Amino acid sequence: MTGSGPTRHATPTRILHWLIAVMVFSTLIVGYTMLNSLGNYSTLLLVHKSLGVAILTLMVLRIINRFMQRLPAFPATVGPREKKFVVVSERSMYTLLFAQPLVGWAMVSASGIPVVIFGSVRLPRIAPFDATLFGVLRQTHTILAYYLVVIIAVHVSVILLHSVTLRDGMLSRMTFRLLRAGADGGGESQTDERSGT
């Protein structure tokens, strides 16, 4: 990319990114709490399933959006090897965020429990009722959750390294300039329009 390209991710990309981020952190917290709170297990399970399906839906939109938008250039501080690492980590995160809800959905299906989200919306089963399969899927769901925590930690650490230590504007590629929008005469909205949003 050249200097004439966008310097920030398109607005839909940024909105989806932060929505998914909030939902993923919420789902992980609810999942951990669910395993350690027998009294509220059924309520937490319903919330956990609902968030999982919401993440899956948003990830489908995110993947479609990924191929429709131009990506901003990396800061000059990002070398060729790190660019490859970023691409691999991004694909890994996309894969995990897409696979984890599907594994959870299949796990609930295999348990024999109705797949109900948001209180009353019933989803079809995507796996047969099978105790052995349920055990395998539950273990897989747990392992994927740990992998997800690790890759999120790596992602956040890299962004903090660039933003706090190198001060190269890496984080600004995914943030919003709400406070500066009025001061620069709406420059962000004009930039977003030129980048196809």
Query: Mean pLDDT across the chain, nearest whole number?
Result: 84
Amino acid 191 reads T
- pLDDT score of 3: 47
- pLDDT score of 181: 44
**φ, ψ for residue 122 (rounded to 5)?**
-100, 125
**φ, ψ for residue 10 (rounded to 5)?**
-60, 155
Query: Do residues 125 and 109 lie in contact, with contact meaning Cβ atoms separated by under 8 Å?
Result: yes
- pLDDT score of 86: 86
Q: For tokens 């789902």, what's the residue?
A: 27
Query: Do residues 130 and 112 lie in contact, with contact meaning Cβ atoms separated by under 8 Å?
Result: no
pLDDT tens-digit readout, 127-166? 999 999 999 999 999 999 999 999 999 999 988 888 888 8
Which residues contact residue 101 at a Cβ distance below 8 angstroms, ignoring those fewer than 6 apart? 52, 53, 55, 56, 59
Integer Cα distance of 193 and 186 in angstroms: 11
Report whether pLDDT(99) > 90. Answer: yes
Integer Cα distance of 54 and 40 in angstroms: 21
Query: Do residues 17 and 174 lie in contact, with contact meaning Cβ atoms separated by under 8 Å?
Result: yes
What are the beta bridge partners of residue 116? 122
Q: Which whole-number Å values give the CA distances from 95 to 23, 33, 150, in the listed order?
A: 16, 25, 14
Integer Cα distance of 107 and 140 in angstroms: 9
pLDDT tens-digit readout, 45-94? 899 999 999 999 999 999 999 888 888 888 888 888 988 988 898 899 99
Name the token pair of 99: 């696979």
* CA-based torsion, 15, 16, 17, 18: positive or negative: positive
pLDDT tens-digit readout, 159-197? 888 888 888 888 888 888 764 444 344 444 443 433 333
Q: Which domains does the chain have, with CATH numbers?
A: 11-182 (1.20.950)
Q: How confident is the model at residue 38 (pLDDT cuts 50, 70, 90)?
A: low
121: helix, strand or coil: strand
